[in-house]
Amino acid sequence: MKIVVLDGYTENPGDLSWERLEALGECVVYDRTSYEESPLIAERIGDAQIAVINKTPISRATMDACPNLNAIAVLATGYNVVDVEAAKEKGIVVMNVPTYGTQIVGQYAVGLLLEICSHYAHHDAAVKEGRWEHNDDWCFWDYPMIELYGKTAGVIGLGRIGQATAKILNALNMKVLAYDAYQSEAGKAVAEYVPLDELYARCDVIFLHCPLFPSTEGMINKESIAKMKDGVILINNSRGQLVVEQDLADALNSGKVYAAGLDVVSTEPIRGDNPLLTAKNTIITPHISWAAQAARQRIMDITADNLEAYLAGSPVNVVNK
């Protein structure tokens, strides 16, 4: 059995081990392969039976060029980089990691909000630049300090991660509203379900925790922003394509949206012409909500579990049944 890991670096930059995959057969690990369609992808898969990927795409053409390939393991929840229909036609099993970062992604989302409310990093830098030492007053601040107590937060997408975020918001004594196409008792325990337009109208802060579907792509746009409260705060560490970025940048620059905390953008790595790079009151981090070592270890463990179950003839977490 030959296993090829095509882009292993972000999952394991050196602080984890591939030993469980190596125990399953010959295992070749590449730190990086192309994130765009490239003949190099098929070349590196070669005669391997299993390809392990994170963001390297596996197209129909790549599958055609790799006739021994019979399983693809994705080191992530999202699997849009794989042509799953082509894989299904060819009998190639595609497996993902459906739950690994629930708590850390919720923690990160609220962390973005707290940074917006208090600008910790900015004021830390100001102190170290000597501004406090030479200040006329015993304290100073460059941005309004925002208290979250009693404010209303909206969570769009109340799945596992949305619920984790909602629980933290409850602890901050915020009123939590939610919109989700599928309501659950677990969701009702942490938030009040409301129609989407009502959520837009009532919330001081809006979190995006929904998957990327044709129905959600570009859902944050000038029309939906117009329905929001003036001075709303937007947090997105779900998928960048949920947002029409020029519309959000315009709303930030006009003040309609007070601030945005973003860990994702539509094209990653971010392009230099992204309008959000120069928008007012915008925090952008490089898609790292998921990257705590504990979460990455869970990815490694679940991927190994997936491959062991597949090789035993009882595959789990299959996305193209």
CATH (domain of 202): 3.40.50.720
In terms of DSSP bridges, do strands 257-262 and 50-53 run parallel, antiparallel, or are they unpaired?
Answer: unpaired
Give yes or no: residues 64 and 157 share one domain: no
Give yes or no: residues 220 and 114 share one domain: yes
Give yes or no: residues 211 and 139 share one domain: yes
Give yes or no: residues 137 and 124 share one domain: yes
Q: Full-prediction pTM beyond 0.85? A: yes
Strand partners, 261: 235, 283
- Catalytic: 287? yes
From 44, 119, 287, 298, the catalytic residue: 287
From 239, 245, 296, 298, the catalytic residue: 239
Q: Residue 130 and residue 116: Cα distance in Å, rounded? A: 23
Q: Quote the pLDDT of residue 321.
A: 87
Give yes or no: residues 264 and 148 share one domain: yes
Alpha helix stretches (DSSP H) within 57-119: 60-65, 84-89, 102-118
- Is the distance from CB of 71 to CB of 310 less than 8 angstroms? yes
Distance of CA 158 to the CA centre of its chain: 15
Give yes or no: residues 113 and 260 share one domain: yes
Q: Tens of pLDDT along the chain (321 residues)?
A: 999 999 999 999 999 999 999 999 999 999 999 999 999 999 999 999 999 999 999 999 999 999 999 999 999 998 989 999 999 999 999 999 999 999 999 999 999 999 999 999 999 999 999 999 999 999 999 999 999 999 999 999 999 999 999 999 999 999 999 999 999 999 999 999 999 999 999 999 999 999 899 999 999 999 999 999 999 999 999 999 999 999 999 999 999 999 999 999 999 999 999 999 999 999 999 999 999 999 999 999 999 999 999 999 999 999 998
Q: Quote the pLDDT of residue 115.
A: 98
- Catalytic: 268? yes
* 151 located within any domain: yes
- Catalytic: 44? no
* 318 located within any domain: no
- The structural domain count of the chain equals 2
Give yes or no: residues 119 and 36 share one domain: no
* 317 located within any domain: no
Give yes or no: residues 44 and 116 share one domain: no
From 37, 129, 223, 268, the catalytic residue: 268
Give yes or no: residues 184 and 272 share one domain: yes
Question: What single-letter DSSP state applies at residue 318?
Answer: B
**Structural domain of 143:** 102-284
